[in-house]
Chains A and B, each alone.
Chain A
Amino acid sequence: MVSLKEKFERIVGADHVSDGAAERYVYSRDMTENPPREPQLVVMPSTAEEVQKIVRLANEERVPLVPFATGQSVGGLTIPQVDDAVIVDLKRMNKILNVDEEGMYMVIEPGVTFGHVRKYLDESHPDLRYTYAISSPFTSVIANALLQGLCDLSTRYGSMAEFINGLEAVLPTGEIVRVGSGILGDDNWFGRYPLPDLVGLFTGWQGMTGIVTKMALQLWPKKPFTRHFALFTFGEFMTTDLLKQIVRADLAEDAGALSFSVVKALIGMPAPIEAIEGEPDYGTFLTLSGITSLELDEKVRVLKRIVDRSKAEEPKNLLIPFEAVARLMSEEAYGWVDFPSDSFKQLTEYDGLTWMGTYIHPKNWGEALFKGRKIVEKYGYELMAFLKPMKGMHFCEFKFIIRFKRDDENLKRVHQCNNELLDLALDLKAIPYKTPVWSAKKLHERADPNFIELVRRIRDLLDPNGIMNPGRWGL
């Protein structure tokens, strides 16, 4: 009798399958408060064909599969929701397959990280730029795109799912499919239209509809002139109103606002960080760019005018050239705006990290921030909000991050705090993203039931044996 482990070993080799206690422990949890659950096995394929064989075997054996890219999710998204799951760790699939200079896209595998892309483009295609997520440099680019996450280009272009030109996936029934213009062959991943847009069958599904093995993602020309600023502001409504003006004027390539406590963490202040009366409430990092210095100078001039105008209401609002920030803090400060993922290591001060994040209508942004702040303060956690204007101000993002010590009392309290934040968000018709299961279930209670039923039907159609990440998204 051949064991399940041996069957997987025949597909990927004995070195790439483990049922060891250490591996099962590591893959059973993340830094969040979401409850852990151990998988029975971890398998690490290196090709789409191996993934296909894994999925076919899982169908034969009725074994649940949980796709896993690089494990940087903060939302319990790779924690199995059922017993005896097999984690399909895609880290070995880490090739940048192609960069098309003329079409400005790259084709990559799921184990490729933001750090890989940055290095590769800098060395091989210096006129093109990609982006970075607000997470560690080890984060999978494909995972962030599939989860509709944000990045430093989201202020202008929206969620990363919108950057996808097409993809290749292994369906839950084992077929390898392509969507997007790549259906006409390689070297043709220029876009998603005019076709039925089936990229949406994979984005936002948290791995329930297949395992993506390849993705084409847009790149952008690197503009030769760039300047960075820090903007200190006061009050939730005044801050969001000012950001709306700046982004609607199409001045900023990127705008990321942080509670001032995060700014204080960045400059090296030790935890726990208190919000002190009189300090600014928010620090926003702004990136402006231009094809010419003249274009950039003009954008800077308009930005200064907008900020100066805001001083009629709040004289202490202050726009600070990043050169001053670097002189005050050290040259390391450029790391916050150039590739800031690594600077967010402060968030892992303790062994617990969680957040409740949403995309929200601009009209409700300030209120969400104002009321969310009260909730976090009530629970006594550090005030660590992160907000980003999205897609030229068509919508907005806000999240409250909590770093915490993982003891029983904190796990309970953090969950309560996130629950209250989610209730507030849903009251304001915000859509939570990268949702853990408990959060998705709350969304289901308020959402149009026909939408939830449609999601369920599509999932059942694609995955008749229910093997792909069962229980995920509360389904």
Chain B
Amino acid sequence: MLDEPKDFIGYLMSQLINRQLEDPNLESRVKGWKMTVVLATDYYPVTLTFNKGVRFAKGAASDATLTVEMSFGTIIRLVMEETSTIKAFLKGEIKAKGMFRHPMAMKRFYGLLNAALKG
């Protein structure tokens, strides 16, 4: 069971990811992840802590495995499938810190994000 954050983006992400975790295989895999991801939007950052599940907190954790920067507008464009994470990344609309040090974390998070935003 995910926490229900008090902030808009945290709540939205928790709902979207929760929908994905209704798939028991994915839920089981995600439970095995151990990483901290900061989703730094132009509104404010949200920290997703993966450790036997996912917790959401407003703000940026200082010990993040990955920091993914994107505007809320880019999130909407991803949802509308006007762009993809790859295209947005190549255009600089998504920036990631820590991806070279933690490529597996990057792969996991992008996969989950893609699935969550496309429903």
Contacts and interface: CB of A to CB of B under 8 A. Distances in A.
Contact of B58 (A267, A273, A276, A318): A276
B6 A327 contact: no
B72 interface: yes
A323 B8 contact: no
Contacts of B119: 327
Contacts of B6: 269, 273-274, 276
A59 B80 CA distance: 65
A93 B79 CA distance: 48
A327 B43 contact: no
B80 A321 contact: yes
Given A270-B4, A276-B7, A328 B43 contact: no
Contact of B16 (A260, A273, A324, A328): A328
A296 interface: no
B33 interface: no
A316 B79 contact: no
Interface string A255-283: 00000100110011110011011111000
A313 to B, nearest CB: 15
B43 A320 contact: no
Contact of A260 (B8, B15, B44, B73): B8
A278 B15 CA distance: 20
Contacts of A268: 15
Given A276-B58, A278-B43, A279-B44, A327 B79 contact: yes
A318 B72 contact: yes
A324 B42 CA distance: 18
B12 interface: yes
A224 interface: no
Interface string B66-81: 0000011100100110
Given A260-B8, A267-B12, A316 B42 contact: yes
A328 B11 CA distance: 11
Given A276-B58, A279-B44, A324 B79 contact: yes
Contacts of B16: 328
Contacts of A267: 11-12, 15
A264 B44 contact: no
Nearest to A280: B43
B44 A323 contact: no
B42 A315 contact: yes
A268 B42 CA distance: 23
A interface, how many residues as a size bin?
A: 20 to 34
A53 B11 CA distance: 58
B72 A269 contact: no
Nearest to B10: A276
A324 B76 contact: yes
A324 B12 CA distance: 13
A280 B8 CA distance: 9
Interface in A274-331: 274, 276-280, 315-316, 318, 320-321, 323-324, 327-329
B8 A276 contact: yes
A310 to B, nearest CB: 13
Given A277-B44, A279-B43, A320 B76 contact: yes
A279 B79 contact: no
Interface in A114-172: none
A260 B73 CA distance: 17
A127 to B, nearest CB: 31
User: Which of B6, B8, B80 has the largest count of A CB atoms less than 10 A from its CB?
Assistant: B8
A264 B15 CA distance: 13
B96 to A, nearest CB: 21
A324 B119 CA distance: 11
Contacts of B7: 276, 278-279
Contacts of A277: 44
A316 B43 contact: yes
Contacts of B9: 279
B14 to A, nearest CB: 10
Contacts of B73: 318
Contacts of B58: 276
A11 to B, nearest CB: 55
Given A268-B15, A279-B7, 11 more contacts: A263-B8, A267-B15, A269-B4, A270-B4, A274-B6, A276-B44, A279-B9, A280-B8, A327-B80, A328-B12, A328-B16
Interface of A: 232, 260, 263-264, 267-270, 273-274, 276-280, 315-316, 318, 320-321, 323-324, 327-329
16 contacts: A232-B72, A263-B8, A264-B11, A268-B15, A276-B6, A276-B58, A278-B7, A279-B7, A279-B43, A316-B42, A318-B76, A321-B76, A321-B80, A327-B119, A328-B12, A329-B15
Closest 9 CB pairs of A and B: A278-B44, A276-B7, A324-B79, A324-B76, A278-B43, A279-B8, A324-B80, A327-B79, A320-B76
